[in-house]
Amino acid sequence: MTSYLLRRLAQALLTLLVISMIIFGLISAVPGGIMSAYSENTDMTPEDFARLQAKFGLDQPVPVRYLKWLGNMLQGDWGNSFVSKRPALQEIADRLPNTILLMGSMLIVTLLIAIPLGVFSALKQYSLFDHILTTLALAGQSLPTFWFGLILIIIFSATLKGADGGPLLPGSGMTTPGMPFNLLDLIRHMILPVAMLALISAAGYMRYMRSSMLEVLPKDYVRTARGKGLSERTVLFRHALRNALIPIVTLLGLELPYLFGGALFTETIFAWPGIGRLFFDAAMKTDYPVLMAVLMIFSALIIFSNLLVDVVYTIIDPRITLS
Amino acid sequence: MKHLKLLISLIVLASVLLAACGGGAAPAPATEAPAAPATEAPAAEAPAGPVSGGIVVIGSPQEPGTLNPALASASIEDAISSFIIEGLVMVDDQGKYAPVLAESLPEVSEDGLVVTYKLKKDVKFSNGEPFTCADVKFTLDAILSDLSQASTSGYADIDSLECPDDYTAVATFSQVYAPYLRLFSYIIPKSAGDLASMDTWEFNRMPIGTGPWMLKEWKAGDSLTLVKNPYYREPGKPYLDSLIIRILPSRETGMQLLGTGEIQVLWDLVEADFPALEAMKDKGVTYGAAVTGENELLVFNLADPTVDAPEDPAAAPHPILSDLRVRQALQMAIDKQLIVDTLLSGNVRVGTSVLPTGEFACPQEPSKYDPEAAKKLLDEAGWVPGKDGIREKDGKRLSLKITSTAGNQIREQTEQVLADMFKQIGVELVIENVPSDVLFAGWDSNGLRKHGNFDILLYTTGPGIDPDSHLFGNYHSARIPTAANKGAGNNYSRYINADVDGWIDDASYITDVNARRELYCKVAEQINKDIPRVYLYERLLISGYRENLQNFKVSPGPSDFAWGSQDWWLKP
Amino acid sequence: MAEIPSLEITTPRRSMGQLVIRQFLKHRMAVIGALILLVIVILVAGADLFERYDPLQINLRNRFQPPSAEHWFGTDDLGRDMWARTLHGGKVSLLVGFLSMAVAIFIGTLIGLISGFFGGWIDAVLSRITEIFQSVPRLFILIVLTTFLRQLDLPWMKPGTFWPIALVIGVLAWMSVARLVRGSTMSIKEQEFVTAARMIGANNFRILFRHILPNVASPIIVAATLGLAGAIITESGLSYLGFGIQLPTPTWGNMLSNTQNQMLTVPWTAIFPGMMIFIVVIAINYLGDGLRDALDPYHIEK
């Protein structure tokens, strides 16, 4: 196992290097960049443009810029944002707790909803309950995110009133502006965005859970277990669920990096100061240092969670071996 | 029975959606609203005067990166820093230059080379330090420093800036800079830091200014909290205790919060939001708007789009658009008033001129909508209707491409309507949009405007307050981007008219406003004859706000909604 | 034990197909799903026959009319008939949805199967490629690709036309399918019936596609259902990058985009295209369920 992990580590570093080159190349190939913010300002003289290009290092060829970036990064310097001039890692650190809070809560709520409902839906296949769940789950997948978000805000924030005459639930931000921090206030602000994210992502988990269960329920080992006179509960959780978990674990692995990456649309609609928006804003302004930092950390997390998933496979299903 | 259950669940979902959308609310009024873009007067002001206290929350779709004006790259940065930082001369809510830290507008010498500012006395920065001529000097040095991201037009022409005493600043120019009033629209205090390390100044995220407000807290991605500047020179002001700028990236969310009163101001709305604003009227929401002097316009390429940035555009004419009759016909085919009345809810003015408003306004007669005359012109030009109704000449179809910023609702609507209107006169218009970064890309990244690789463009631009650099940059033949000038300039039409060149040059060497206005007006008239661009409608700066917020104004200058914020108060 | 081989030995192939069809028809929801889909496909394919107005006919003085006997689905922001636009919009949306889903499922399944089954260096290489695809943001790929295709000016691959949109959505969406299939394959290849098949001399190809593929069908079918909806909505998102279908051609996606500020005042402009996507996805879902049950040897046995 140790030698396997070491090999994966070496592969991961190589992969990250390749990814960094691809991403850097792509970002450089995007037309416009930070300079297009000034394009309609006719007061900017050609000398001004030249000075700015030099300041941002954009007067150098792309490979030189990449090597400089790589060299600095390896020494722990990820560069400063073109826009805010603050260190890229600082920009990320400011938003990371918010992102993890939102996405972590979402993941917990999702799993709490989706796993039991998916199992139940499979056990009661084609019952009314199953149909309603299926319908709701797919509605979550087939309508644009902004719809859901706005409908939630319109219902719970703009229309329904709380005891104090204000909105029942706040529709944006993390805290009430101008108020000292308190936990209850934060939780109230989290309800709508977490609900929306969970609603959308639960749909996927539920469908996968349901179908995996349907797949394993009629299998021999489940029947054998039943035949041995084990209780329905034991059969379900000891045998069926375990094997149905593989897709769920895969799915979790796919989602894990987003604990860091955030969710752009939800953050936008609910004005949540997370990484998703940081990335989007940086992308719109081609803010290299921030973009590279966000994307490289994100890539590292993808690679790490894929490895984690592989290890978890062997725990769920001991017959799986890693080589 | 199973399909019945499915049907029921579908119906339930549909009704939930419909109910949430407020049932069949009235559609947006199409033609009712009169064209009244001016700031709406607050309804019958109560006799009682301003009340002190209260917090106003402002929603902004964007977050500033820095509040140092010398490093700013977005309009939100100028607007928010204007709450804190003031200049010697700034643009007021009427679009006129007004003295702020200067006693009066600066005096200019006979030859136009010496500009003298009298500074206000007893002005203090929010850190308690006095404001003097030394700060003006420091500001100039900051703007001209290596790390500066500000435009140096005008500043670079200042030979010397003298401080005969603490309250007088004398700028001597090496050549006449006609729009000298636009200079020193912000003052950076000398205590801000060392110029060689401007990027890492604390000032950038915690600026010090002479304005009514100072920054207390900046929560990244979330909000900026402003409190009263204790040293602000006007006693008793600002009336409000605090301003909180909330970053609300979704305008739709912002609009809902404005309706519930969770925010009092929503900045940076667009014309497409008018129907939603109207729908909020009964919830105590109103709006302020200012004409910016910018037009939504069509840019015709007069040069051959297949030739990469032609050195001599006149030698490589556009196969269709270089013919004036075709350009005239296209303009006549556009019913601008109909576009304004429907797509823009009748709330903006039809575009008539490159100089629609402000000190140098030169309004012109609106172009005539006359499809019949347009057809006749095209006939004359040799374009005759082909089989499918699209005109042809020498086997070439009269088909043009229009390019704009992708995903922009009003622009996409406008393009489709234009395609429809052009079709009436036998012209095909194909829509091919690109992301705004691609459209506005520079020479080095193969920008399609810079390299002249388009037929027609649709976007917004305009002269702002002083037309000097805009007219030169957009209409002077010296500002046609070519390989020789490394793509400098914005004359994307590749428009060449010697008279226009001359008038623009002449105007840039005089400081007399009346004489300049006359020359610029000649330019505007000639442009309307040559039609390198078609002005569709005048753009607005729009902010929505709660009716109980008093004295809220929108200024067409860079300070935008921050202008006059010391006078804001909340009606109880 | 090994159900599939035994079935094959005891029953001739033709009756196996009949069995599948019979099993499918027994599945009432699947049949209804298929019928709904058929109706929609007929409506969309024959849009010219069912439309009452030209879907491109602009009438600015007739904007935002609510649904009525005249305009069944109301009119849109330019006064165009929403019924006609919804019918015509389905053409691109369904084609893009199905084609890109097929591309994603095909690539994803293939890579997942091979990667999970063979393991070792093959898995390492394919998994690292998957990781690279997961890591590089679509946003930049699309912007750069648009610019690139615009300059190349290939007749079949012009930005704003059908093929590049469908292919690009598919090529950028296969990674999760690959991960899911790989995981399930790794587990299934260790099960007894695979060992049994190997012992009776089945080659790798046969084992992969005859024995393992049917057993990883569940997550594939779910991924396909969810992917279809995703693809239809993604198409509208592409228009922000200049990659979407060229205006004024309607698609369900671009009819939905930019409706967020009209949701309160003119809800029908968004509800009808949204509804169509939803119905298609529901129908596909039940169809998929039925297909899965019909193909599942355990169900057939019952």
Q: How far apart are CA B99 and CA B84, in angstroms?
A: 16
Closest C-alpha among B356, B350, B348 to residue B467: B356
CA C298 vs. chain centroid, Å, equals 26
- Beta carbons of A271 and B249 less than 8 angstroms apart: yes
**For residue C251, pLDDT beyond 60:** yes
Cβ contact (<8 Å) for C267 and B255? Answer: no
Q: Which of residues 120-149 of B touch A (CB under 8 A)?
A: 146-149
What confidence tens digit (pLDDT) does each residue in B461-473 have? 999 889 999 999 9
| Radius of gyration, alpha carbons of chain C | 23
CB C112 within 8 A of CB A306: no
- What distance in Å separates the CA atoms of residue A280 and residue B8, rounded to the nearest whole number? 40
Hey, are the CB atoms on B221 and A274 less than 8 Å from each other? yes
CA distance C253 to C237: 8
Write out pLDDT tens, residues C225-237: 888 888 888 887 7
Q: How far apart are CA B511 and CA C196, in angstroms?
A: 95
- Banded model confidence at residue C222, pLDDT cuts 50, 70, 90: confident
Measure in Å the smallest separation between the Cα of B460 and chain A Cα atoms: 9
Structure tokens given for B404:
């704009």
Please determine, for residue B35, whether its predicted confidence score (pLDDT) is greater than 80: no
Q: Which of residues 424-463 of B touch C (CB under 8 A)?
A: 430-435, 437-438, 446
Best residue of A142, A286, A290, A295 to probe chain C, by most C CBs closer than 10 Å: A142
Which among B5, B57, B199 has the least Cβ separation from residue A80? Answer: B199
pLDDT, average across residues A26-47: 86
A23 and C282: CB-CB below 8 Å?
no
Q: How far is CA B556 from the centre of its chain?
A: 8
Pairing of strands B265-269, B242-247: unpaired
Which residues are B404's β-sheet partners? B458
Burial of B65 (0-12, 13-18, 19+ CB in 10 A): buried
Q: How far is the CA of C215 from the CAs of A237, A291, B506, C62, in angstroms? A: 21, 41, 81, 55
The residues near B75 (Cβ < 8 Å, ≥ 6 apart) are: B558, B560
Contact of C214 with chain A, judged by CB distance below 8 Å, is answered with: no
Q: Which CATH superfamily is domain A89-316 in?
A: MetI-like (1.10.3720.10)
In a 3-state reduction of DSSP, which class is residue B563? coil
Look at A84 and B66 and tell me if their CB atoms are within 8 Å: yes
* Percent over 70 (pLDDT), chain C: 89
The subunits that touch chain B, with at least 3 C-beta pairs less than 8 Å apart, are A, C
User: What pLDDT digit, counting tens, does each position of A45-76 carry?
Assistant: 889 999 998 999 888 999 999 999 999 999 99
Would you state the pLDDT for residue C265?
Answer: 77
Chain C touched by B42 (CB under 8 Å): no
Q: Both tokens of residue B542?
A: 């729009």
- Chain A residues with CB inside 8 Å of C141's CB? 26
Give the H/E segment covering residue B396: strand B396-397
> Taking a C-beta distance cutoff of 8 angstroms, is the pair C66, C81 a contact?
no
* Contact status of C240 with chain B (Cβ, < 8 Å): yes
B101 vs A166: CA distance, rounded Å: 42
CB B276 within 8 A of CB B560: no
Give the DSSP letter string of B267-310.
Answer: EEE-GGGHHHHHHTGGGTEEEEEEEEEEEEEEEE--B-TTSSS-
What DSSP assignment string belongs to B454-465?
-SEEEEEE---S
Task: Out of A179-188, B555-564, C113-122, C156-165, pick the least confident.
Answer: C156-165
Number of residues assigned to chain A: 323
- Cα B159-B161-B165 angle, rounded to 5 deg: 155
Distance, in Å, from the CA atom of B165 to the CA atom of B169, rounded to the nearest integer, reads 8
pLDDT digit string, tens, across residues C256-282: 877 777 777 788 888 888 888 889 888
Identify the helix (H) or strand (E) that includes residue B2.
Answer: helix B2-20
Bridge pairing between strands B428-431 and B242-247: unpaired
Task: Compute the distance between CA of residue B129 and CA of residue B132 in angstroms, rounded to an integer.
Answer: 9
**How confident is the model over A294-323, as pLDDT tens digits?**
999 999 999 999 999 999 998 888 888 776
* Neighbour subunits, C (≥3 Cβ pairs < 8 A): A, B
Alpha-carbon distances, residue B507 vs B158, B501, B504, B527 (angstroms): 19, 10, 5, 16
pLDDT tens per residue across span B91-140:
998 889 999 999 999 999 999 999 999 999 999 999 999 999 999 999 99
Q: Which amino acid is at A74?
A: L
Cβ <8 Å between C140 and A134:
no
The greatest distance separating any two alpha carbons of chain B, rounded to the nearest whole angstrom, comes to 94
Please, which residues have CB within 8 angstroms of residue B509's CB and are 6 or more apart in sequence?
B112, B175, B176, B178
Least confident of A190-199, B349-358, C184-193: C184-193
Domains and CATH numbers, chain C: 88-292 (1.10.3720.10)
B247 → closest Cβ in A33, A55, A271: A271
Q: In chain C, pLDDT over 90 holds for what percent of residues?
A: 25
Q: Is the CB of residue B361 less than 8 Å from the CB of residue B467? A: no
| Average pLDDT, integer, range C28-41 | 89
Strand bridging mode B399-404 / B223-228: unpaired
Sheet with B384-385: strands ordered across = B384-385, B391-393, B396-397
Residues C199-233: b if buried by 16+ CB within 10 A, e if exposed: eeebeeeebbeebbbbbbbbbbbbbbbbbbbbbbb
Beta bridge partners of B542: B269, B289
C-alpha distances (whole Å) from C103 to each of C25, C34, C108, C254 are: 28, 22, 8, 22
Q: Do B253 and A149 touch (CB under 8 A)?
A: yes
**Residues B431-455: what's their mean pLDDT?**
89
Q: What is the 3-state secondary structure (H, E, C) of C59-109?
A: CHHHCCCCCCCCCCCCECCCCCEHHHHHHHHHHHHHHHHHHHHHHHHHHHH
Mean pLDDT of chain B: 89
Per-residue pLDDT tens over the stretch A69-102:
999 999 999 999 999 999 999 999 999 999 999 9
Q: Residue range A250-269: average pLDDT?
A: 88
What does the pLDDT read at residue C189? 85
Counting residues of chain B whose pLDDT is more than 90, the rounded percentage is 76
d(CA B439, CA B450): 9
Under 8 Å between Cβ of B244 and B58: yes
Query: Which helix H or strand E contains B538, and what residues bound it?
Result: strand B533-546
Helices (H), chain A: 2-29, 46-55, 62-74, 88-123, 128-142, 145-153, 183-216, 220-227, 232-234, 241-255, 258-261, 264-269, 275-284, 288-316
For residue B338, list chain C residues with Cβ-Cβ distance below 8 A.
60
Residue C298 has pLDDT above 60, yes or no: no
What pLDDT does A270 receive? 93
Chain B: closest CA distance from residue C107 (Å): 29
Bridge-partner residues for B244, per DSSP?
Answer: B57, B225
pLDDT at B3 over 80: no
Place of tokens 């929108």: B554
With tokens 């753009």, the residue in question is B539
Domains of chain B plus CATH, in order, are 55-264+548-570 (3.40.190.10), 293-539 (3.10.105.10)
Q: How confident is the model over A200-245, as pLDDT tens digits?
A: 888 888 888 888 888 777 766 666 766 776 676 666 666 666 667 8
Phi and psi at residue C62, to the nearest 5°: -130, 35
C-alpha to C-alpha distance for A205 and B13, rounded to whole angstroms: 21
Q: Shortest CB distance from C183 goes to which of A14, A313, A319?
A: A313
The Cα of B250 is separated from the nearest Cα of chain C by a number of Å equal to 10
Q: Over chain C, what is the mean pLDDT? A: 83
Q: Where in the sequence of chain A do the CATH 1.10.3720.10 domains occur?
A: 89-316
Question: Per the CB < 8 Å rule, is C60 touching B406?
Answer: no
Confidence class for position C154, pLDDT limits 50, 70, 90: confident
pTM above 0.90, yes or no: no
